[in-house]
Amino acid sequence: MELTYTKHGDYYLPDLDIPTKEKISVNRYGQMHGDYLKKNNRTTYNELLFSGRLNQYLAEIGEQSEKMFALLTEQYAAAENITEEMKTVDQMGWVRAMNSIRNRAEEVVLSELVYC
């Protein structure tokens, strides 16, 4: 790899170019992981950014997080016997139970995938 330099005032600065790729959509979990890397693991963040792989990496983390969240929510609901029948009989109880399940599932996703 050959580096070229351009003179800016009294200094020669390397000509660095970040490769441009297609636009990749990053969901909220991916954005949260990106913020975490930016604040707590600058080396990894910069390596991914300058190699042009940051958005792809964050999109993958976001996708894995969404799948894990859906799976955990489904498993918790089955383990606690939260069904559609309960939804018709006791709507507020069902809402409370599902909110609790979603909160617990999100906490696991955040600790296992996003903030690690």
Question: Domain segments of the chain: what residues?
Answer: 24-114
pLDDT tens, residue by residue, 44-75: 999 999 888 999 999 999 999 999 999 999 99
Provide the whole-model pTM: 0.78
Residue among 58, 55, 65, 1 at smallest CA distance from 23: 55
pLDDT tens, residue by residue, 68-103: 999 999 999 999 999 999 999 999 999 999 999 999
Whole-number Cα distances in Å, 75 to 69, 93, 105: 10, 18, 10
**Which residues pair with residue 14 across a beta bridge?**
5
